[in-house]
């Protein structure tokens, strides 16, 4: 009986944390993706390291923008559930 309650509590915690768990991966993927694009463009146009650095900057700005936007959206949903 006690074990069942414990597993239900753990499942509920994972359900609540689920939307937040992928945010770090999404941020890293956007930075890595833009880095790769910058790297391949540098190789093609022989402009090393400028397009790589530009891609990294664009990836960071875009990644952090999405990260902050998602956290705010999830925070609003969480406050509505508490009310």
Residue 35 has pLDDT above 90, yes or no: yes
CA distance 52 to 66: 21
Q: Would you say residue 31 lies in a domain? A: yes
pLDDT of residue 50: 96
Residue 13 lies in a domain: no
5's enclosing H/E stretch is helix 2-21
CA distance 79 to 66: 20
Give me the domain span that covers residue 72.
20-82
What's the pTM? 0.75
**For residue 12, is it within any domain?**
no
Output the pLDDT for position 8. 78
Quote the number of domains for the chain: 1
Residue 56 domain-assigned (yes or no): yes
Cα distances from 14 to residues 10, 64, 66, in angstroms, run: 6, 24, 22
**What pLDDT does 38 receive?**
97
pLDDT of residue 6: 65
Q: Identify whether 69 is part of a domain.
A: yes
């Amino acid at each position: 009986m006690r074990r069942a309650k414990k597993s239900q509590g753990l499942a509920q915690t994972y359900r609540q944390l689920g939307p937040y768990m992928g945010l770090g991966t999404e941020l890293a993927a956007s930075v890595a993706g833009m880095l790769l694009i910058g790297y391949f463009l540098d190789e093609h146009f022989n402009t090393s390291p400028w397009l790589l650095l530009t891609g990294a900057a664009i990836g960071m700005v875009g990644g952090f923008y999405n990260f902050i936007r998602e956290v705010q959206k999830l925070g609003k949903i969480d406050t509505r559930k508490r009310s």
